[in-house]
Copies of this chain bind each other. A is one copy, B any other.
Amino acid sequence: MVFTVVDQALHVLLIRRGADPYAGRWALPGGFVHIDEDLDAAAERELVEETGVAGPVGQLAQLASYGAPGRDPRGRVVTVAYLALLPDPGSPTAGTDASAAQLRPVADVAGTDLAFDHDRILADGLERARSMLEHTPRATAFCPPEFTITELRAVYEAVWDTTLDPRDFYRAVTAVPDFLVATGRNAAGGTGRPVKLYRAGPARRLQPPIRRREPS
């Protein structure tokens, strides 16, 4: 499951199924694990096949497994769901057995009838993504390699569906050790005081966390 932030709104990558079951319905992209392939590797391979992005090693997080009998009419299928947070990959290209691939705003999709039990998986994934922004530095995965704190704040606002005070957000993220490292360069083109560019630091956990705000 690929999340990305486009135009200040959280989007999820969906495909329109080209074959039965659920032909014509929207679904999360995915596929089958090869024999002799790790689960993480399979998730990454399927992601690359679906979106064409360069391998985002370490950016994939296992979400959960879903194995209710009857969830796939073809027979017993157990799905191990993964989560990826990516910068806007542009227009995705539909892979095999999909008639279309599209980034859809999560707000529009939530509650819709996705294929299989993908509604539930999407809901779980959204909750996990929101939680990850609190405790891990993965929000930077939504940004290009170098980004401003304002861009990072826009990510938090999109995922949490809220607004944050720019000044307090600035203080909060710069207070976390190893979260952000200044590159020394400034962003080009803006008016006003020049904006510093940052890269993701080596932190794996955010201590202290960036506390989540409820939707406003």
Query: Does A168 make an interface contact (CB < 8 A)?
Result: no
Using Cβ atoms and an 8 Å threshold, which residues of chain B touch A37? 69
Give the residues from 14 to 54 in chain A that come closer than 8 angstroms, CB to CB, to chain B. 33, 35-39
B76 touches A78 (CB 8 A): no
B-binding segment of A60-68, A99-107, A142-150, A179-187: A60-68
A38 to chain B, nearest CB (A): 5
Q: Chain A, interface size: which category?
A: 10 to 19
Q: How many copies does the complex hold?
A: 2
Contacts A76-B36, A78-B80, A80-B78; A65 near B68 (Cβ below 8 A)? no
Using Cβ atoms and an 8 Å threshold, which residues of chain B touch A62? 64-65
Interface centre among A37, A39, A62, A67 (most CB of B within 10 A): A67
- For A60-100 the 0/1 string (1 means CB < 8 A from B) is 00101111110000001010100000000000000000000
Using Cβ atoms and an 8 Å threshold, which residues of chain B touch A36? 69, 76
A76 touches B35 (CB 8 A): yes
Q: 6 more A-B contacts (CB under 8 A) besides A62-B64, A67-B80?
A: A35-B69, A36-B69, A39-B67, A39-B68, A39-B78, A64-B64
For the complex of A and B, 7 pairs with smallest distance between CB atoms: A39-B67, A36-B69, A65-B65, A65-B80, A38-B68, A35-B76, A62-B64
